[in-house]
Amino acid sequence: MEIRGIDPRDISWEQDHADYRVYFWDRSTNTSWEYEILDQVDIGELLAWTRQYAAEHGWTYTLYTVADDDGRRGLIRLDGVLGDPFD
């Protein structure tokens, strides 16, 4: 992990609300469930719910925030497994 000081003036925008997606993976059946969270939610609360829901079902998960890049939607991984666990 590399940590460095920054100049906060390098940011041109910020927003207080983000949309999130969570993908739950059941490796025993090669099944996935995908959800989008659109309400304003605290990331700590969302992480706690995601981890608990996955644990209750014996699943793994990946949590993303939804981002736009020149009008194209994409995902930025925040927590959970890397890539497709079925590969």
Residue 9 within a domain: no
What six digits make up the tokens of 65? Answer: 């925030």
Over its length of 87 residues, how does the chain's per-residue pLDDT go in tens digits?
999 999 999 988 888 888 999 999 999 999 999 999 988 899 999 999 999 999 999 999 999 999 888 889 999 999 999 877 777
Residue 6 within a domain: no
H helix and E strand count, the chain? 1, 4
Residue 31 within a domain: yes
The number of domains in the chain is 1
Residue 7 within a domain: no
User: What is the span of the domain harbouring residue 74?
Assistant: 17-80
Residue 35 within a domain: yes
Q: Provide the 10 A C-beta neighbour count for residue 20.
A: 20
| Reported pTM | 0.84
